[in-house]
């Protein structure tokens, strides 16, 4: 996969970057960068692809993404305006030796994990204002506030691991992956065949299946399943539509198929999932 390598420049007179990105600068392709990324959603909603994990994002969601972990945040409607607050930093931007100090053990452990995580519950409520304060701060205070955010995350277990040990292939493969993902985000609610998607990639079906599994670490139909279940979760939590109606609106023709795949992904039934948000 020809993953876009994004160049991140630190802020002036800072060793790291802390910026707000708003449409159209919010929109990026499937990309990665050596910097760690702490990102909070300020405006808009959509679907995130982080490593091999598909999930929805909405206002006030917070994600922490390891360096060189490919990701993509895609808004639900093309005309929607989105914005995010993003902190980019490397694990040595503050110089050598600092992370070896005993006071930094939790931060060191956090940065050693090759994970993508989503913050939950009290942790998210603590980190959101801390990130805003970080954005407003300057100089030494800005650096200390970054450490404060990392200490909060590293010292907590209130997060969901989305993907771990995802290794992006080092070799350059057919850049058609960009077209495949883009097409899938636009058409995942419609019937899709391997003939159709392999033709978009300009590959035979066996070659396409191997190519996709190697790069995304799951089969193409598992990827489509995750997109559909993510869409169903959004409808379950943001509307009062009957679950059967949500089943059909999420690209399924059969309740049994929807129910089985929902449980495979979420380890609970659609009704159980909805109840925890009531």
Q: Which residues contact 52 (CB under 8 A, 6 or more apart)?
A: 163, 166, 216, 217, 218
What digits encode the pLDDT tens for the residues 99-122? 788 888 888 889 888 889 999 999
What pLDDT, on the 0 to 100 scale, is given for residue 29?
75
* Residues 192-211 as b or e (16 or more Cβ within 10 Å = b): bebeebbeebebeeeebbeb
Is 66 exposed, middle or buried, given 0-12, 13-18 or 19+ CB atoms closer than 10 A?
A: buried
Contact between 88 and 8 (Cβ < 8 Å): yes
Contact between 85 and 39 (Cβ < 8 Å): yes
Q: How far is residue 19's CA from residue 7's CA, in Å, rounded to a whole number?
A: 14
DSSP SS3 for 112: helix
Give 98's pLDDT tier (boundaries 50, 70, 90). confident
Q: Which residues contact 278 (CB under 8 A, 6 or more apart)?
A: none
Give 8's pLDDT tier (boundaries 50, 70, 90). low
What pLDDT, on the 0 to 100 scale, is given for residue 171?
42
Q: How far is residue 92's CA from residue 109's CA, in Å, rounded to a whole number?
A: 14
What digits encode the pLDDT tens for the residues 196-229? 999 988 899 999 999 888 878 789 999 999 999 9
Q: What is the pTM of this model?
A: 0.75
Q: How far is residue 57's CA from residue 79's CA, in Å, rounded to a whole number?
A: 17
What digits encode the pLDDT tens for the residues 243-265? 999 999 999 999 999 999 999 99
Number of H helices, E strands in the chain: 10, 11
Q: Residue 76: pLDDT above 90? A: no
Give 6's pLDDT tier (boundaries 50, 70, 90). low
Give the domains, in start order, of the chain with CATH numbers: 4-164 (2.60.120.10), 177-275 (1.10.10.60)
Is the backbone peptide bond immediately before 13 cis, with ω within 30 degrees of 0?
no
């Amino acid at each position: 996969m020809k993953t876009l390598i994004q160049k991140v420049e630190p802020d002036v007179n800072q060793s790291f970057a802390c910026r707000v990105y708003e449409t159209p600068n919010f929109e990026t392709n499937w990309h990665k960068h050596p910097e760690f990324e702490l990102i909070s959603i300020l405006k808009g909603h959509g679907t995130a692809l982080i490593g091999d994990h598909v999930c929805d994002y909405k206002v006030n969601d917070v994600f922490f993404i390891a360096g060189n972990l490919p990701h993509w945040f895609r808004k639900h409607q093309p005309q929607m305006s989105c914005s995010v607050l993003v902190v980019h930093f490397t694990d040595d931007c503050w110089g050598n030796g600092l992370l070896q100090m005993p006071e930094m053990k939790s931060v060191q452990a956090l940065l050693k994990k090759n994970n993508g995580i989503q913050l939950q519950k009290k942790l998210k409520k603590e980190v959101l204002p801390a990130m805003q304060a970080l954005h407003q701060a300057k100089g030494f205070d800005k650096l200390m506030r970054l450490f404060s955010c990392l200490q909060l995350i590293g010292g907590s277990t209130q997060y969901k691991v989305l993907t771990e040990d995802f290794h992006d292939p080092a070799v350059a493969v057919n850049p058609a992956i960009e077209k495949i993902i883009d097409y899938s985000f636009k058409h995942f609610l419609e019937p899709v065949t391997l003939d159709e998607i392999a033709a978009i990639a300009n590959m035979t079906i066996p070659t396409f299946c191997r190519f996709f599994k190697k790069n995304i670490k799951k089969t193409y139909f598992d990827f489509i399943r995750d997109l559909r279940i993510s869409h169903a979760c959004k409808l379950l939590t943001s509307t009062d539509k009957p679950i059967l109606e949500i089943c059909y609106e999420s690209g399924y023709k059969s309740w049994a198929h929807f129910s089985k795949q929902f449980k495979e992904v979420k380890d609970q039934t659609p009704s159980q999932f909805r109840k925890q948000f009531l």
